[in-house]
Amino acid sequence: MGQGLEILDRAELAPTSGYLGGKWRAGDARFAVKNPATGETLAEVADLGASDTEAAVSAATEAWHSWSRLTAKERSVLMRRWAGLILQHQEDLARIMTLENGKVLAEARLETALSAAYIEWGAEEGRRIYGDVIPSHRPDARLLVFRQSIGPVGVITPWNFPSAMLTRKAAAILGSGCSLVAKPAAETPLSALALAVLADEAGIPAGVFNIVPSKRAGEVGKVLTEDARIRAFSFTGSTAVGKELMRQCASTVKKTAMELGGNAPLLVFDDADLETAITGTMQSKFRNGGQTCICPNRIFVQDKIYDSYISGLAEQAAQIKVGNGLTEGMQQGPLINQAAVEKVLRQVENAKSLGGEILCGGDQGTLGGCFHMPTVIANANTKMEFACEETFGPVAPVVRFATEAEGVAMANDTEFGLAAYAFTQDLARAFRVSETLESGMVSLNAGVMTTEVAPFGGYKESGLGREGSHQGMDEFTETKYVQFAGL
């Protein structure tokens, strides 16, 4: 198999221009998108700026007036057609994702399927945005509550799930009757542009779905957060950047939905099924090379089961097949760039300096470049950098704890609260721990929790609002109370 976009069955799924108002805009500058597995340039993509973003906002504003007036069923038909096209072109979309992101093809295929599921869910939930009839306070009046689309929405998405993060937002936005202007991550714009091709083919009206690729994040972000025509703003990324974007949104009192940083704990209690706990940890920790916002960054294991657990985890982690994601059978690809590798190497060295024992991995192996081997660290402690800084890499530091109270306290000792995991066969403990963990999402006895049917979001500095489920539609609707008097 080749190493570039020539491997696609449909070359037109890899445009390099922005998609604004139903038309492709080349702009006056370009930036390189590189394959992290090889370091080679995949494409030179349009580097759009503030004026282009303003044009996209104008197109989204005009389109919103007509899109919001369609019936929910009319919108649903077009969105479901879009979801069908995503599934129809699953293999090409997965290849694009692997080329620009590095994740293995098996994971890219799953993400593409999830992307279609998000669009389908938004299409269906858009038909269930209900209001209320309130018992009146006066006999000659009737009180009604409507939920209406909020308007054009600004969106900024990350590189680690370049398709699913965009479709999860787009599903709720379009299903609610809103339009959007999205800036995908500069590392992975091709997946977003491919979705735009299919949205156009599905008949999504011009201006409803706009993609602004750019290396000028601050410039584009300023328009999306400060232009008064954008009524809501949705962002997935770091907490530090999210805080700055929230400040900018305050200038026009925008509604914000923020999915920010995570520092997920994973708790293994001494009554856990060992095989289930190890399998769940492998699934959650090493998926996408550890580059997920909900993968466990801090693993806490109770004394009695610690030695058995960590030896089993290290044995399985050492067997992960690492290489170019395009090669069938690979289980982990490269990290997104050299800076990501350097961060992981620094955290591993910090752990070693504070008494951590490397049971497997700990370096780049023989692959070099943007690769880092799956790593398990024994004798980890909460003074190490991983305890307060998200790793975003294939490193599993394992901390020992004695009591349930101690384990939960260490798990909650962070300003973040996106996801948490716990493994126990004690039903009472499962309820206690799930209720006590300060996290927006808790997975008991399983390493994978993401689904379009459940709400995704966090506590504390991990964000505001929810994506997915019916709660995800709430972020992009306004509640209107109407009193009919004189009856």
CA dihedral sign of residues 461, 464, 468, 471? positive
- Residues 478 and 148: beta-carbon distance below 8 Å: yes
The count of structural domains within the chain is 2
Q: Examine the domain organization and report whether 220 and 272 are in the same domain.
A: no
Residues 447, 278: Cα–Cα separation, whole Å: 9
- The number of helices, as runs of H, and strands, as runs of E, in the chain is 14, 22
Q: Examine the domain organization and report whether 434 and 336 are in the same domain.
A: yes
Alpha helical stretches, state H, 176-238? 189-202, 217-226
Asked whether residue 225 is domain-assigned, the answer is: yes
Q: Examine the domain organization and report whether 27 and 74 are in the same domain.
A: yes
**Does residue 119 sit in helix, strand or coil?**
helix
- Residues in the chain predicted with pLDDT less than 50, given as ranges, are none
Residue showing tokens 């305890």: 387
pLDDT of residue 1: 52
Q: Examine the domain organization and report whether 230 and 280 are in the same domain.
A: no
Q: Examine the domain organization and report whether 430 and 466 are in the same domain.
A: no
Length of the chain: 487
Asked whether residue 487 is domain-assigned, the answer is: no
Query: Can you give the CATH number for the domain in which 226 is found?
Result: 3.40.605.10
Asked whether residue 456 is domain-assigned, the answer is: no
Greatest alpha-carbon pair distance for the chain in Å reads 80
The alpha carbon torsion through 351, 411, 419, 438 (nearest 10 deg) reads -150
Asked whether residue 239 is domain-assigned, the answer is: yes
pLDDT of residue 3: 80
Which residues constitute the domain of residue 90?
A: 5-260+462-482
Asked whether residue 228 is domain-assigned, the answer is: yes
Q: Examine the domain organization and report whether 241 and 276 are in the same domain.
A: no
Known catalytic residues are 259, 293
Asked whether residue 457 is domain-assigned, the answer is: no
What is the separation, in whole angstroms, between the first and last Cα of the chain?
Answer: 73
What element of type H or E holds 34?
strand 30-34
Closest CA to 341 of 361, 355, 319: 361
Asked whether residue 240 is domain-assigned, the answer is: yes
Q: Examine the domain organization and report whether 96 and 123 are in the same domain.
A: yes
Q: Examine the domain organization and report whether 248 and 273 are in the same domain.
A: no
Q: Examine the domain organization and report whether 181 and 313 are in the same domain.
A: no
- Residues 212 and 20: beta-carbon distance below 8 Å: yes
CA dihedral sign of residues 368, 297, 416, 180? positive
DSSP state for residue 205 in the 8-state scheme:
P
Query: Can you give the CATH number for the domain in which 391 is found?
Result: 3.40.309.10
Q: Examine the domain organization and report whether 316 and 390 are in the same domain.
A: yes
Q: Examine the domain organization and report whether 316 and 400 are in the same domain.
A: yes
Based on the number of CB atoms within 10 Å of its own CB, is 64 exposed (0-12), middle (13-18) or buried (19 or more)?
buried
Q: Examine the domain organization and report whether 477 and 397 are in the same domain.
A: no
Q: Residues near 431 by Cβ (< 8 Å), separated by ≥ 6?
A: none
Asked whether residue 217 is domain-assigned, the answer is: yes
